[in-house]
Structures are given as structure tokens and as C-alpha cells.
Amino acid sequence: METNRIRVLQVSPSLGLGGTEKVMQSFAVNLDRNKFQTAVYSHSNGPRGKLIREQGINTFIGTDLFSVLDNFQPHIVHIHRAGWAEPGTLRPYKLAKTPVVVETNVFGHHDPSPEGRQIDRHLFVSRFCAERYEKVNSIPTVEPKYSVLYNPVDTDFFRDNCPLSRTFPPNCFGRISRADKGKWSNLALDFLPILQEKVDDGELLPFQYRIIGGIPEAEHFVAENNLGKFVHFLPPVLTDKEIAEFLNSINFLVHANDTGESFGLVIAEAMAACLPVITHPSKDLRDNAQLELVDHGKTGFIARNAQEFAQAIHFLINNPQKARQMGENGRSKAAKLFRAQDIATKLGKIYLDLLKMKKII
């Protein structure tokens, strides 16, 4: 067993296509390998497992977490989960006497269970999540128990593969998500008939709306309203290279999701690719971090209804120079706040601080 590096076990519910798994992958890959020996554990394998192993990181797959903890003996377990109580899931770390347990609290929920008290640091993925947690639970979200750590984005990769000097396709915009109804809003489609009228009236040139993650309801809407000539449904993507190729094929991103975003990884990646983003506020106490990422009039637009979505799209199509300036503003913000290597450095410092606080090192 190697003893000169701190052993970190990243724990994810799966190794699938979701943002939670992608964030875990980024942490595993970008932590300083001179200081940390990182491995990944998940109940089930998936496409990210292969990508992680290609980076020389071990993955443990299956239900026997006890054996993994016994063999790997992590100094730190970092779990990625929604935040609410999951009875029995934290018990193995107590039995294994894991020195430090860190949680990325993806959706900012509260775990009041005795097991939840094992967690040494709760990491919120946005200020919004931390502030809502404090408001709802009357618990101050302050160190050493709580802190905000934005999700990592490989902004260097998107800077290099989505150069500002590229040709931005005119009249072409898109959206990207998993093909999951929970990732959709009617606002993602309701602006289309409004834009079609503008095309018919000669106010707008024909446009293309490129969609990754289409659902049957969306395809039905497009067919029923005879919008097929404007909308193109595309297959899912996995790697940043594939995402960059898609983002290079559009002029700006349209984001619409009724459940909102606890962070908004797709938005942050579009910003890193120098694209403006149009999004909308969520209702009540739903996730609303998309408003933390998109600055209205500076890095994109906040639209409250289909008419405002259509107006924002019309503006960006007809004002390409202003669209490019918004894209540059978004890229600068993403590089400053979300750069994967910087986030991993901050995470490494959190790990070391917790180990020192518990006198492990």
C-alpha cells in the first residue's frame, strides 16, 4: 500500500452521463497527483468509467463497499449526492473508521440523520444552494462545516477548441441536456411559433435550432406545429471534444428547465465556449443558480416567458457583434470562477485543512 500520498476515494451513484458524475470525474482527474492518490467507487459502471480509467485512475465497481474501504484505506471519502438522508449509505465509512468524509451536496438538501453528522464538510455547488439551505434550515453555512465550491469546467479546453476567431454559424442556436423530461420546460419550445411568424413576415431569416437530448414530447410538438425545417434533433454526446464540436455549431445557447439548476454545467460550458446564454428564472424555492451564472445583458439574457425568449433570440441573431461581446464576457467569467484546475486546487486545500484539523497529518 502506497503511503506517501493522501488516498482519496471519490464516490458516485453511477458512472453515467450526468453532471454529477462529470464533476466527480473532473475532481479525480485534476487533483494534484503528487499529493493525492485518487480512486473512484460506484455501484454501477457506465461510459465515464472508461474515461476515468484511461486517465490512470482505478475504479471500483459493485456493491461490496466494505472491501473497497478495507483494501484502499482512504484518508478521505468524497461522496457526490443530492444531500438528503440516504439511510445506511454512510454507515460503511463509520465502520471503516474513515478519517474524513466530504460531501458535494449537489442539490443543497439537508440530511438531519445521525449518519449525516459523519460528514466533515458539505460543499455546495453554488452560492444559491448555500443561501437557500441556510434560509430553509436556519443553519449558518459557514466553515468548517460548510463551504461553496463551484463545479469544475475545463475552461482551458474550451478556450483552445472553441476559439473566438472561429466562424459563428448565423441564425443557428441550440440546447443540450440529457433526454430526460425533468430537464425540460415548455419554454424550450413555446418561442418557436413566435419566431416562425417573424420568418413568415420577413422580420427574421430562417433559423436552425439544434437540440441534443430531445424527448418524445418535444419531437411531437415540432411535428404537430410543422417546425421540422427549423429544428434538428441530435444524438447524445459524452466527451468535452464532442460538446465543443456541438457548441462550435451554434451561435448561442438556449437553456430552459423547469426544475432549474443547482449549478448549471451546460451553461458554464457554453460560457467557456464564448457563447451567450438565454435562460429563465425558476419558481418558488426551486433551483435557481442559472441566474448566478448568467448576467442579464452582459453574458446573456434572463427571459421570463416565450415572448421574451423570442425577443432575446431575435436580438442575438440580428446583433452578432453584441452577441460576441456577451460571449467574451461569459468566457472571462467562466475562466475566473469555474476553471477545473483551480477548483481542484481549492478542493485539495479543503482536504488538507480537514486532515490537519483532525490531526491526521
What does the pLDDT look like over 55-108, one tens digit per residue?
999 999 998 999 999 999 999 999 999 999 999 999 999 999 999 999 999 999
Query: Does residue 348 fall inside a structural domain?
Result: yes
Asked if residue 75 and residue 180 are part of one domain, the reply reads no
pLDDT score, position 33: 96
Asked if residue 306 and residue 193 are part of one domain, the reply reads yes
Q: Give how far Cα 114 sits from Cα of 54, 144, 266, Å.
A: 38, 19, 35
Asked if residue 191 and residue 117 are part of one domain, the reply reads no
Tell me if the bond preceding 163 is cis, omega within 30° of 0: no
Geometric angle at alpha carbon 267, from 84 and 307, rounded to 5°: 105
Whichever domain contains 133, its CATH number is: 3.40.50.11380
Whichever domain contains 201, its CATH number is: 3.40.50.2000
Q: What is the pTM of this model?
A: 0.95
Structurally, how many domains does the chain consist of?
2
What is the overall mean pLDDT for the chain? Answer: 96
Asked if residue 311 and residue 164 are part of one domain, the reply reads yes
Asked if residue 129 and residue 48 are part of one domain, the reply reads yes
Structural domain boundaries, residue 123: 6-152+339-357
Query: Does residue 100 fall inside a structural domain?
Result: yes
Asked if residue 161 and residue 307 are part of one domain, the reply reads yes
Asked if residue 250 and residue 131 are part of one domain, the reply reads no
Query: Does residue 267 fall inside a structural domain?
Result: yes
Query: Does residue 1 fall inside a structural domain?
Result: no
Asked if residue 326 and residue 203 are part of one domain, the reply reads yes
What does the pLDDT look like over 142-177, one tens digit per residue?
999 999 999 999 999 999 999 999 999 999 999 999
Asked if residue 196 and residue 123 are part of one domain, the reply reads no
What does the pLDDT look like over 107-145, one tens digit per residue?
999 999 999 999 999 999 999 999 999 999 999 999 999
Q: Which residues are CB-contacts of 46 (< 8 A; sequence separation ≥ 6)?
A: 14, 15, 16, 17, 21
The answer on pLDDT for 266 being more than 60 is yes
Query: Does residue 281 fall inside a structural domain?
Result: yes
The answer on pLDDT for 234 being more than 70 is yes
Query: Does residue 210 fall inside a structural domain?
Result: yes
Asked if residue 308 and residue 175 are part of one domain, the reply reads yes
pLDDT score, position 5: 95
Asked if residue 343 and residue 332 are part of one domain, the reply reads no
pLDDT score, position 225: 96
pLDDT score, position 4: 86
DSSP string, 198-239: HHHTTSS---EEEEES--HHHHHHHHHTT-TTTEEEE----S
Asked if residue 347 and residue 334 are part of one domain, the reply reads no
* C-alpha cell recorded at residue 133: 439551505
